[in-house]
Amino acid sequence: MSTILITGGAGFVGCNLAVLLKEKYPAYHIVCFDNLKRRGSELNLQKLKALDIDFIHGDIRDKSDFDQIRVPVHCVIDAAAEPSVLAGLDGNTDYLIGTNLNGTINALNFCLKHKAKFIFLSTSRVYPIKAIESINVVEEATRFEIAAAQKLPGINTDGISETFPLTGARSLYGATKLASEMMVEEYHEMFGLQTVVNRCGVITGPYQMGKVDQGVVVLWMAKHFWKKDLSYVGYGGTGKQVRDMIHIKDLFGIIDRQIHEIEKFNGQTFNIGGGRAISTSLQELTAVCERITGNKIAIQAVRETRQADIRLYITDNSKITGCTGWSPQIKVDEIMEDIFGWIKTNEQQLKPILS
C-alpha cells in the first residue's frame, strides 16, 4: 500500500488529485495537508471525507506541523501555495515567501526523512514578463496569436517550451516558484531525491474557487451564471489576451504516471498545459460562457494593463509528449460545460464565494 501526502490538499489542484487518486487506487492512503488559507477550500473537505481521505490541518511554513504525519509516506505532491500573481505586490511578501519557498523546503526535508518522491506543482509564471511580452504576436479578430517569426529561443507557434529564457523579473509569485524549483534541483542532485517539476499553465475545472487574480476561468463562468459584471482588463480592453487551459483530469493523467513511473521523469522539468488546441482568449471564453449559460452580461473595457499581466501564454507540450505520449484531451467547451455543471449542482454553497 502506498501513502501519498498532498500539501495544499484542500485546494483546487490538491483536492482534485486526492479524489482522482482515491477513486483509481482505493487501497492507497491519501493524506491532505492544508491550512485552509484559500477561501472556499473548507468546502472541499466534505469531498475528501466522503472518500475516506485523511485531512490534516497544518501550515507548510511550520516544519513542526509535518510531525502530525505519523505514517511512512511514499510520495509527496506539493500543491500548497499562495498562487496569486498579484501576491506580495502590496509590499508584504512574508506569507508568499514563507509558503511558496520556505514551505517547499520544509516539504523537501520531509521527503528526505521519508525517502519519498517529490512532485512539484510549479508555474508558467517562472518565465520572465518582459521576455513573454516581447514575443511577436499577430492581432486577429478575437485573439492574439503567436507570430511565425520569433527572435527568442523556446518559442514557436505551438507555444513556449522549457528552453525559453529565464532571465528577468517574473512577478514575486513566479520568483518564489523558480527559487523553489532551484531547491528541488539541489535536493535531487545533492541528496538523490526523486523529483519532478511541472511548470503548468492555467489549470481549471470543478472545485476551483476562482477569483480575479487566480482561477479566472471559473470566475468567468460564475459571473455569467449569476449574471454579474466582468471587465476585460489591459491590452486595450478588448479581451484578446490568450491562455491555454488544462482540465485537472488531464493533469491527473500525467501526475499519475509520474507517481508510478518516476524513473522516466526523475530530476526533470516539464512545461505542461492545454497547448494551442486548448487555448482561448477572454473574448472567446465569453462566447462559450454565453452559449452554455444562455446569459449575456455587461463586460467593461479597462484599457490599462495590470502589473505583472501578460498578453499571451501557450504551453509547448513537445517535451512531455515526446517523453510519454501524453497530451491533454479535454477541449475548452467540455471544460466549461464541466465547470458549469459543478456550479449548477452546488449553486447555494458556491454563491457567496464565486458570485
For ligand NAD, the binding residues (CB under 6 A) are 8, 10-14, 34-38, 41, 59-61, 79-83, 99, 103, 121, 123, 200, 202-203
Quote helix, strand, coil % in the chain, to nearest 5: 45, 20, 35
DSSP state of 236: G
What gap in Å lies between CA 227 and CA 225, rounded to an integer? 6
Strand, coil or helix: what is 122?
strand
User: Between 36 and 353, whose beta carbon lies closer to ligand NAD?
Assistant: 36
Contact 250, 331 (CB under 8 A): no
Q: Fill in the DSSP letter of residue 273.
A: S
Q: Smallest distance from the beta carbon of 349 to ligand NAD, in angstroms?
A: 16
> At closest approach, how far in Å is the CB of 177 from ligand NAD?
6
Could you tell me the smallest distance in angstroms from the CB atom of residue 303 to ligand NAD?
Answer: 26
Give first-to-last CA distance, the chain, whole Å. Answer: 42
Q: Which is nearer to ligand NAD, 83 or 234 (CB)?
A: 83
Rounded Cα distance between 106 and 111, Å, is 9
Nearer to ligand NAD, 19 or 203 (CB): 203
CB of 1 to ligand NAD, least distance (A): 25
Choice between 105 and 236, CB closer to ligand NAD: 105
Q: Which is nearer to ligand NAD, 99 or 286 (by Cβ)?
A: 99
C-alpha cell at 339: 465547470
CB of 263 to ligand NAD, least distance (A): 24
Residue 2: exposure state from Cβ atoms within 10 A (0-12, 13-18, ≥19) = middle
Nearer to ligand NAD by C-beta: 200 or 255? 200
Say if CB 176 and CB 94 are below 8 A apart.
no
Query: To 5 degrees, how large is the angle CA 63–CA 67–CA 68?
Result: 120
Q: How far is the CB of 224 from ligand NAD (least distance, A)?
A: 19
Angle at 44 (CA atoms; ends 326, 196), nearest 5 degrees:
35
Q: Could you tell me the smallest distance in angstroms from the CB atom of residue 268 to ligand NAD?
A: 17
- Minimal CB distance residue for ligand NAD: 11
Nearer to ligand NAD among residue 217 and residue 288 (C-beta): 217
